[in-house]
Amino acid sequence: MSKGWENWTASEVEDFQADFLMWYQQEKRNLPWRYNQDPYRIWISEIMLQQTRVDTVIDYFYRFMEEFPTIQDLAKAPEDKLLKVWEGLGYYSRARNLQAAAKQIMEDFEGEFPTTVEDIRSLKGIGPYTAGAISSIAFEITEPAIDGNVMRVVSRLFCIEADIAKASSRTIFDEAMRKIISQTQPGDFNQAMMDLGSSICTPTNPQCEVCPIQQYCQAYQENRQAEFPVKSKKQKPKDVYYVAGIIENQQQEIFLKKRSETGLLANMWLFPLEEINAARYTELQEQYDPAAWDLFSSSNVAEDSPDFFSDQEVIWQKKILGEVKHVFSHLRWHILVFYGRSAAPLTIDGRWVKPDDFPGYVFPKPQQKMLEVFENNLADDKD
């Protein structure tokens, strides 16, 4: 593989850095975690920004810093409170890893954020990219921060044909970045790469006409921008099918079930779910028309109880409240939402909760979507 960066002279590298950093100083985004070089703020922002858009993160960042302004506050926070502040951001393991790392800092580093790349990498949930971002921005250590944006920029800059979907390719991009990164302003350089990749050197239709490093870009010179980065197709998420039961008792409380302590959506609260196969999912869609009946009509009781939650004494309405879909990185959930009223105490573990008390519970995105379906039906029923 050709390594174009090896052909750059020291003078060319200096010119490239000067042009790129000048552009960054003029055009850098005004973001709340860039107000200072506090490693704690930088760390929190970088973890939040994983798999999440900047516009979404900003409000969450403000709330998080208000609730947990210091590493000590984060380390000692009740998990339910932490997850509630994180609610809606998804990938909840990120929040748990943050707290685990905060406890590491309190125990192993006397409450002070570590200052070397090796020590930063030792923290729970911190990989090469995050360590590079924190160490370069907070401590001016010459360490690349290589994420998808950076690999896209660098792959076009040098026409790198390595597949960015393969972990083994990271060493190539690491080598290229160490050749061109600023030795005096590594934090600004890494952030310039992030900004360029998110605003100009985009996956499709890059705005090459306004790119500050256009004259250095090999792909631009050869009119091959669309060929980079090279990326093999990602495996499609697996489809999983569920029915959800919104079950109400005579006290107008709704039953919630807590997920297990490990695995997907650990310790989150949801309406009870039962997995079914795709064929049965389709049958239920056809059998229970979502628009056929009013929700709380006495004539709306299913003549034959559906075969889900069959071990519970619940009177189910013969209507689908709605359908919810949610995509995780490896799974695509399809959920048919049903409403029922308990005829006897339930035998599954869970808790009866007044709807007014829902804000005190940590709801993942699928639960929020199911709750919205239920509330929409309540509103329709009152009209």
pLDDT at 293 over 60: no
- Given this model, what pLDDT does residue 2 score? 73
Report how far residue 151's alpha carbon sits from residue 196's, in angstroms, rounded to the nearest whole number: 11
The rounded distance, in Å, linking the Cα atoms of 93 and 101 is 12
- Selected catalytic residue, list 14, 46, 107, 375: 46
pTM above 0.85, yes or no: no
Structure-model confidence comparison of residues 133 and 167, the more confident one: 133
Mean per-residue pLDDT for 328-336? Answer: 93
Q: Other C-beta atoms within 10 Å of 166: how many?
A: 11
What span, in angstroms and rounded, lies between the C-alpha atoms of 165 and 239?
22
Q: Among the residues of 254-304, which ranges form H helices?
A: 278-287
Going along the chain from its start, the domains and CATH numbers come out as 4-227 (1.10.340.30), 238-382 (3.90.79.10)
DSSP for 125-136, written as a single string: T--HHHHHHHHH
- Indicate the pLDDT class of residue 309, thresholds 50, 70 and 90: confident
Question: Token pair of 31, please?
Answer: 């973001």
The one-letter code for the residue type at 333 is W
Q: Is 255 helix (H, G, I), strand (E, B) or coil?
A: strand
The stretch 256-268 carries a mean pLDDT of 92
363 has a pLDDT exceeding 80: yes
Q: Which two tokens stand for residue 238?
A: 């697996």
Read off the pLDDT of residues 295-306 as tens digits, 9 standing for 90 and up: 555 555 555 456
Q: pLDDT band for position 286 (50/70/90)? A: confident
The percent of residues in the chain predicted with pLDDT above 90, rounded, is: 80
Q: What is the mean pLDDT of residues 166-188?
A: 96
Mean pLDDT of 83-105: 95
pLDDT tens across 38-78, in order? 999 999 999 999 989 999 999 999 999 999 999 999 999 99
Mean pLDDT, rounded, for 347-354: 93
143 tagged catalytic:
no
Say if CB 151 and CB 102 are below 8 A apart.
Answer: no
Q: How many CA atoms lie within 13 A of 76 on its CB side?
A: 6
User: 152-156, long-range: CB within 8 Å, 24+ apart, which pairs?
Assistant: 152/197, 152/201, 152/203, 152/228, 152/229, 153/193, 153/196, 153/197, 153/201, 154/193, 155/219, 155/228, 155/229, 155/230, 156/201, 156/206, 156/217, 156/218, 156/219, 156/220, 156/225, 156/228, 156/229
The average confidence (pLDDT) of the chain is 92
pLDDT of res. 343: 81
